[in-house]
Amino acid sequence: MGYFDAASAAPLHPVARQALLASLDEGWADPARLYREGRRARLLLDAAREAAAEAVGCRADELVFTPSGTRAVHSGVAGALAGRRRVGRHLIVSAVEHSSVLHAAEELERDGGTVTQVPVDRVGAVDAEAFAAALGDGTALACLQSANHEVGTEQPVTEVAEACRAAGVPLLVDAAQSLGWGKVQGDWSLLTASAHKWGGPSGVGLLVVRKGVRFAPQGAADERESGRAPGFENLPAIVAAAASLRAVRAEAAQEAARLRELTERIRARVPGLLPDVEVVGDAVRRLPGIVTFSCLYVDGETLLHELDRAGFSVSSGSSCTSSTLTPSHVLKAMGVLTEGNVRVSLPPGTPAEDVERFLEVLPGAVAAVRERLGAPAAAESAPQTGADLVVDAVGRRCPIPVIELAKVIGDVPVGGTVRVLSDDEAARLDIPAWCEMRGQEYVGEERAERGTAYLVRRIK
């Protein structure tokens, strides 16, 4: 089986397993107690904190362990905003942040604060100057991920951190995807991460708050973890998380080079193996193990099931996955195709043979899904029947509106238009993306009696 979804959760590292089992015997007592068992637990907790702090590049007393990466984000955002409430209630985030950051931003807006989303370019990167321009006198906090979780694009954290420091605004960096590969560069103020992303156990997050950052923990007071993460510490999991972080860092340089070669192999060969496919994300500034591509005329959920039957576990940011009918906010912000999206994220140790087998299986899986959906086999010239056509796709979900558009575009002469009627939100994203990929002109949208009319002009 090829497990290619490490960006969601990496397999448990052997060192994590060993540390977890050992600390179950030694670290079960309350580390706040002064008796022998408590002192032993305290030593394990302190050692884990020192190891994690060294990996992050911070002081041990700046780092606390939380019950998850999401909790670390929520606590970090809420605490930083509360600590700087006299400055203002303005938060800056990028448009492609993890949902945990965006949910925290929504909470601020519901409470009367304001949020600025900095847009990204077509590869998913923010412009550092645009981010700096969003900073203002009332800005209490800025958030920027170190690398994107869906497409792997690395963000200009160093440049943004410099701008934030000059403006006197703390920067929170979500380092969940990148921390296993190395320290986050730049003069950031707060940092969050999650152990299950680097091969540690689930249920352990990191929250780092640099000395000098105004921070007011929210919620009922608790004496543990500097009052920033209430509740009894899951000491065995914390020890395993710190041990595995140290272990993956020791292997990072060699493994990163190997995984980059494998993902570059996928990036280079997929466009030749599949017609009508777009590889997305930055080709150079990206994480080692992530490669993402989108296939026209493909239902993302169906494709994932097809690949699962072939023995490969991948994920999708498609608008048609089993959990939601809402298009991926990352792909939407990038302006790329949202349908038929496949994210391959290779865990450390992935054999090259598994990648080769994936590339052998993929064309057949995509072809099977396209045939099932009645997608056009190729761009064919058809008799030109008139200057304009209307495609009624109301009530039909992705990728059917785009498939129907592709079938009839050849029926109109060059300069003619196709009006696609659809009530699927994904059409607003995927029809312009189809035009970009196929060299046609997207004219815009109009209100219609049923749904929305999307206008496409044939230019070749």
Which residues are known to be catalytic?
320
- Cα 11 to Cα 3: distance, rounded to the nearest angstrom: 9
- Return phi, psi of residue 44, to 5°: -65, -45
Q: What is the token pair recorded at 144?
A: 């920027």
- Return phi, psi of residue 171, to 5°: -115, 125
- Cα 455 to Cα 441: distance, rounded to the nearest angstrom: 9
Backbone conformation region of residue 67, classed left if phi is above 0, alpha if psi is from -120 to 50, else beta? alpha
Q: What is the token pair recorded at 167?
A: 């403006």
Q: What is the token pair recorded at 380?
A: 């064919």
258 burial (CB, 10 Å; 0-12 / 13-18 / 19+) is middle
- Return phi, psi of residue 269, to 5°: -95, -25
Sheet holding 277-280, edge to edge: 277-280, 290-295, 341-345
Rg, the chain, Cα only: 24
**For the chain, give me the number of helices (H) and strands (E)?**
12, 16
Q: Kindly report the number of other CB atoms within 10 A of residue 197's CB atom.
A: 23
One-letter amino acid identity for 220?
A
